[in-house]
Each structure stands twice: as structure tokens, then as C-alpha cells.
Amino acid sequence: MRYTGPACKLCRREGKKLFLKGERCMKAKCAIDRERPVPGASQRRRAKISDYGVQLRAKQQIRRYYGLSEKQFLKTFKIASKKTGITSFEFLVLLEMRLDNTVYRLGFASSRSAARQIINHGHIRVNGRKVDIPSYKLKKGDTIELKKSDKSLAFVQKNIEETSGTVTLPEWLTFEKEALKAEVLRFPEESEIQAPADAQLIVELYSK
């Protein structure tokens, strides 16, 4: 089941920004910038974290960053583990190539959760066809564009304006701003994936 509670609470739990609330994460109201304590910290003793604990925190940080449920996260990892490349890298590539993440990377939405909502409501076209599945895996050469409707256009243009200073278009995508159309040029490289934790720790966790 996907978490539906306060997004800021997740960032506080992990002790770092996971950028779950879009523009708010860049403002002074951000709970991390205000150094609010970890939830329940006053009731817990500070103990040295074990290797398992480090691996678990890495998993939770990456899972929450991309907004996946436990089941989706594990399923994606199993797919990555069957590929011939380095599992940790292949895993991050699969997460980056999800449609909801790409819609967010394009600035169509202020957060990945908002991107999922746009996709679920049928506002996104892939290769000219409606795709309403946020987990849809994109491939090289795929095109992503907005549904031609006034409602879709107004909503996305507003988000693009609001995120213009905070969202940087990755080099594996091209984007025609006037047409609101993008293309996947290639798969992302390792240096282009800014995950909040080391994915190799997840490989070690699931290998136990």
C-alpha cells in the first residue's frame, strides 16, 4: 500500500529532502531546513545503527523518493536483478524510466505524486496514445505529450512556470516547450541519476 500521510513526515524520518511536495521543498517552510526533529525522536534512545539498518534506510529513502509501494519496489528490483548489467544501476534506470518520474522530470507536475494524478486522469499521451498507468516503462525513441485540451494545457503550463527554476531537464530527454512534447533520446547514465541513497545497499539488503 502506498503511503498517503503527510509527505514532510517522510523527509523528517529520513533526515533529508526527498522533494515530495514540489515547490514547497525549496521554501523556508521545508521541515528539513527548519531542522524539525525526527518523528518520535524524543521517545527513542540514540543507538548505533546496524548494517541492516543502513541498508533499510537506503531502501526507504529511494522507495519514498520515487513514490512506490513496497510491492512495486520489490517487483522492479526483481526485474533489474535479471538484467545482465550492474543490478543497482539497472534498478535506478528502471525507476527513472517510469512514466510518472519522466512527467515530473519534464516539469509537467510539481512532484511525482502530482505526476501520477495527471497520468491517472488521462492527460498524457505516449507515442500518440493515451497512457494512464504511472508505472509505464518508457523506451528510447518514445514521445511524451500532453492531451490536447484546455484543461490539460492550463494545468501543465502553470506547473511548468512554477517549476522552471527548480526542475532541470535531464540530458536523456528533449522537450519542445511550445508543443509540450518530449522524446526519450536514450537511457540515463549513472552520473545523471540523483538518487537520495546508494542503490547498492538495496542489492545487499535483498540478497540476505
In the chain, residues under CATH classification 3.10.290.10 are 98-186
Sign of the Cα torsion 199, 109, 134, 173 reads negative
- In CATH terms, the superfamily for domain 98-186 is RNA-binding S4 domain (3.10.290.10)
CB count within 10 Å of CB 94 equals 20
Q: Which band of pLDDT confidence, cut at 50, 70 and 90, is reported for residue 29? A: low
In the chain, residues under CATH classification 1.10.1050.10 are 7-42+49-95+194-206
Q: Which band of pLDDT confidence, cut at 50, 70 and 90, is reported for residue 41? A: low
Identify the weakest region by mean pLDDT among 12-26, 90-104, 120-134, 135-149. 12-26
Mean pLDDT value of segment 136-160:
88
Mean pLDDT value of segment 178-184:
93
pLDDT at position 12 is 58
Pick the CATH number of 7-42+49-95+194-206 from 3.40.190.10, 1.10.1050.10, 1.10.10.10, 3.40.47.10: 1.10.1050.10
Q: What is the pTM of this model?
A: 0.79
Looking at per-residue confidence, does 163 or 172 come out higher?
172
Q: Is the pLDDT of residue 160 over 70?
A: yes
Task: Check: CB of residue 82 under 8 Å from CB of residue 76.
Answer: no
